[in-house]
């Protein structure tokens, strides 16, 4: 006989899954907001710094910093995917098996 939703919610593995996901989600959200708002605040309060030339060419300091913001986003998403596949999917599978 399948378990009810209430029984599944009381399962220690389900509680562990929810806690781990919530913790990781909030951590990565805060990290992303720090990166984005940090970049925006840098644009707002020190645009001359971002406009300084790097070397003899046309590249400014702002270009690699902007690229780093984009790369950081991909890295954060990649980290979440790896973590979800390694931890969350295993716990989810265990919970599903136990609920049958």
Full-model pTM:
0.82
pLDDT tens per residue across span 51-67: 999 989 999 999 999 99
**Residue (of 79, 62, 69) closest to 34 by Cα position:** 69
Using alpha carbons, list the distances in angstroms from residue 38 to 25, 42, 46, 49, 65: 19, 6, 11, 14, 11
pLDDT tens per residue across span 5-44: 888 889 999 999 999 999 999 999 999 999 999 999 999 9
């Amino acid at each position: 006989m399948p378990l009810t939703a209430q029984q599944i919610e009381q399962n220690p593995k389900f509680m562990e899954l929810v806690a781990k996901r919530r913790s990781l989600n909030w951590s990565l959200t805060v990290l992303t907001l720090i990166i984005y708002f940090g970049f925006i605040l840098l644009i707002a309060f020190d645009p001359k710094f971002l406009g300084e030339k790097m070397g003899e060419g046309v590249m400014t300091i702002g270009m690699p910093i902007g690229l780093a913001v984009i790369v950081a986003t991909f890295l954060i998403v990649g980290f979440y995917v790896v973590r979800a596949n390694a931890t969350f999917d295993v716990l989810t599978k265990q919970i599903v098996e136990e609920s049958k």
